[in-house]
């Protein structure tokens, strides 16, 4: 069995309450539509606050691909570095102890990839294995862990896993689609990191990847002239309610202390409550949604961090779902 240790997180400097976001969005959307009809989207989102990589005025501008990419690269590197330093400090590892680095992200594109940038900032070995992963979306919080277990098993050295998502950089103020409006009510920015190694208090018993065929339209990005356009279908909560319990029951047969679930939004949280009989550990996911919004692949790691910091022990199912439509699931034991 391999273990997760040193779970850390870092966030941009700009912090906003949901009421701040509502007032900001009034400036944008009231010119073209009746904003009062949109208020319930914000009130029912389950989000009370979140971190954003820019001040609100930046999001009023019609930023192009170049501007978004410059912002993504600089901010992602800065935030990731903070989280990685915390992880190394918590675990008493040096950068040279790490045998591989995985960086998971779906909200920006950088070449050379972010892992290459990171090894130039800290004293990692030149022969470190690097795996940049793009496109997992929210599911990347668990699927990145699954890849780390496979690499750790092969190289026999500690693996550093990083998630970085700057969801707000994809917002386009001139677009009045329902998806774009919902994104302003829901998404936040941040990073997480941890190490997979031979010992610790949080063990990974089993990991599963699962993809549903003919479900590509449920979630993803459209490529537009000025950036990425968010795609998510209103059927996602119903899809999760129907399909997730089938996968859990198929691959995991033991009784669990609780659930570490991606905090995708209140409709997703409510689906979890119906699936898992309103299990009390779902509150951890709801708390993360409230405090940080949906931070894509980072969110489920924040839920894990929350559970570890509250010293909750036992066996857990860790789950997140994303484009594909795909699911990552892991069975964890926390001692």
Q: How far lies 116's CA from each of 76, 100, 126, in Å?
A: 13, 12, 10
Say if residue 28's pLDDT is above 90: no
Mean pLDDT of 212-224: 77
Question: Are 201 and 7 spatial neighbours (Cβ–Cβ below 8 Å)?
Answer: no
Q: What are the tens digits of pLDDT across the range 219-278?
A: 777 777 776 767 776 778 788 888 888 888 888 866 767 999 999 889 889 989 988 889
Instruction: Tell me, yes or no, if the two domains 2-197 and 202-334 fold the same way.
Output: yes
Task: Give me the residue spans of the domains in the chain.
Answer: 2-197, 202-334
Q: What are the tens digits of pLDDT across the range 2-17?
A: 999 999 999 999 999 9
Q: How far lies 249's CA from each of 31, 39, 149, 239, 240, in Å?
A: 49, 38, 22, 16, 14
The alpha carbon of 191 is separated from its chain's Cα centroid by a whole number of angstroms, namely 8
Fold for the domain defined by 202-334:
Peroxisomal Thiolase; Chain A, domain 1 (3.40.47)
**32-71 burial: b if 16+ Cβ within 10 Å, else e:** eeebeebeebbeebbbebbbbbbebebbeeebeeeebbeb
Fold for the domain defined by 2-197:
Peroxisomal Thiolase; Chain A, domain 1 (3.40.47)
Q: What are the tens digits of pLDDT across the range 111-166?
A: 899 999 999 989 899 999 999 999 999 999 999 999 999 999 999 999 999 999 99
Q: Is 310 helix (H, G, I), strand (E, B) or coil?
A: coil
Residue 227 confidence (pLDDT): 67
Which of 61-65, 157-161, 171-175, 301-305 has the lowest average pLDDT?
A: 171-175
Residue of 265, 261, 238, 256 whose CA lies nearest to 325: 238
Say if residue 101's pLDDT is above 70: yes
Q: What are the tens digits of pLDDT across the range 33-69?
A: 777 777 888 888 899 999 999 999 888 877 788 888 8
């Amino acid at each position: 069995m391999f273990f997760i240790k040193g779970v850390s997180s870092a966030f941009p400097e700009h912090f906003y309450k949901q009421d701040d976001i509502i007032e900001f969005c009034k400036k944008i959307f009231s010119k073209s539509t009746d904003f009062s009809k949109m208020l319930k989207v914000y009130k029912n989102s389950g989000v009370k606050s979140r971190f954003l990589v820019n001040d609100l005025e930046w999001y009023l501008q019609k930023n192009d691909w170049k501007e978004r990419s410059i912002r993504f690269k600089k901010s992602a590197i800065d935030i990731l570095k903070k989280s990685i330093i915390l992880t190394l400090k918590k675990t008493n590892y040096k950068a040279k102890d790490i045998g591989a680095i995985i960086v998971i992200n779906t909200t920006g594109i950088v070449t050379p990839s972010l892992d290459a940038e990171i090894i130039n900032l800290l004293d990692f070995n030149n022969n470190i294995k690097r795996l940049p992963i793009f496109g997992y979306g929210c599911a990347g919080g668990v699927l990145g862990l699954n890849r780390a277990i496979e690499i750790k098993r092969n190289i026999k050295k500690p693996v550093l896993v990083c998630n970085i998502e700057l969801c707000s950089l994809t917002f386009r103020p001139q677009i009045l689609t329902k998806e774009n409006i919902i994104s302003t009510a829901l998404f936040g920015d941040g990073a997480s990191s941890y190490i997979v190694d031979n010992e610790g208090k949080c063990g990974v018993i089993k990991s599963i990847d699962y993809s549903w065929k003919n479900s590509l339209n449920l979630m993803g990005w459209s490529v537009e002239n000025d950036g990425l356009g968010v795609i998510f279908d209103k059927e996602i909560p119903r899809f999760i309610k129907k399909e997730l319990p089938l996968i859990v029951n198929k691959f995991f047969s033991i009784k669990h202390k609780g659930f570490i679930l991606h905090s995708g939004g209140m409709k997703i949280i409510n689906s979890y409550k119906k699936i898992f009989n309103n299990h009390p550990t779902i509150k951890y996911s709801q708390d993360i949604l409230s405090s940080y919004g949906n931070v894509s692949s980072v969110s489920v790691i924040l839920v894990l961090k929350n559970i570890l910091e509250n010293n909750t022990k036992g066996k857990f199912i860790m789950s997140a779902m994303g484009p594909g439509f795909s699911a990552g699931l892991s069975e964890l034991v926390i001692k």
